[in-house]
Amino acid sequence: MADTAPMLIDGRETGAERPPIAVRDPATLEPLGAVPAGTAEDVDRAVAAAARAQRAWRFTSAWERADLLHGVAQATHDHADELLDLLTREQGKPRPEQEEELEWSASTFRYYAELGRHGQGRVVPSAEPRTQLNLVVREPYGVAACIVPWNYPFLLLAWKVAPALAAGNAVVIKPSELTSLATLAWVRLAFAGLPDGLVNVVTGYGDPVGEALVAHPGTQVVAFTGSVATGQRIASVAAPLMKHLHLELGGKDAFVVAPDADLETAADALAYAGFLNTGQVCTSSERVYVPRARAGEFAELVAERARALRIGHGTRDDVDMGPMIGERYREKVQGHIGDATDRGARLVTGGDVPDTGLPGWFLAPTVLADADHSMQVMREETFGPVIPIMGYDSVDEAIDLVNDSPYGLGATIRSGDTLLVKRFADEVQAGTIWVNDPLTDNMAGPFGGMKLTGGGRELGQDGLDAFLQSKHVHWDLSQERKDWWYPY
Please identify every residue annotated as catalytic.
248, 282
**Cis amide bond preceding 487, omega within 30:** yes
According to DSSP, residue 269 is labeled H
d(CA 455, CA 449): 5
472 strand-pairing partners: 136
CA 139 to each of CA 95, 168, 459, 460: distance values in angstroms, whole numbers, following the listed order:
39, 8, 18, 18
Using left for φ > 0, alpha for ψ between -120 and 50, and beta otherwise, residue 430 falls in beta
Amino acid at 318: D
Specify the pairing of strand 410-414 against strand 253-257: parallel
What are φ and ψ of residue 287, in 5° steps? Answer: -155, 135
d(CA 408, CA 404): 10
The SS3 call for residue 68 is: helix
**Among 356, 280, 276, which Cα is nearest to 320's?**
276
The helix (H) or strand (E) run that includes residue 326 is none
Q: Is 473 buried (19+), middle (13-18) or exposed (0-12) by CB count in 10 A?
A: exposed
CA dihedral over 376, 377, 380, 385, signed as positive or negative: positive
d(CA 216, CA 224): 15
**Among 253, 291, 10, which Cα is nearest to 143's?**
10
Amino acid at 159: W
Buried-exposed string 185-213: b where 16+ CB fall within 10 A, e elsewhere? bbbeebbeebeebbbbbbbbebebbbbbb
Q: Is 481 buried (19+), middle (13-18) or exposed (0-12) by CB count in 10 A?
A: exposed
The SS3 call for residue 343 is: coil
d(CA 124, CA 438): 40
Q: Maximum distance among all alpha carbons in the chain?
A: 89
Distance of CA 462 to the CA centre of its chain: 15
d(CA 38, CA 202): 6
Across 60-142, the runs of DSSP E, i.e. the strands, are 121-124, 132-140
Distance of CA 293 to the CA centre of its chain: 36
d(CA 344, CA 395): 24
Specify the pairing of strand 199-201 against strand 170-174: parallel
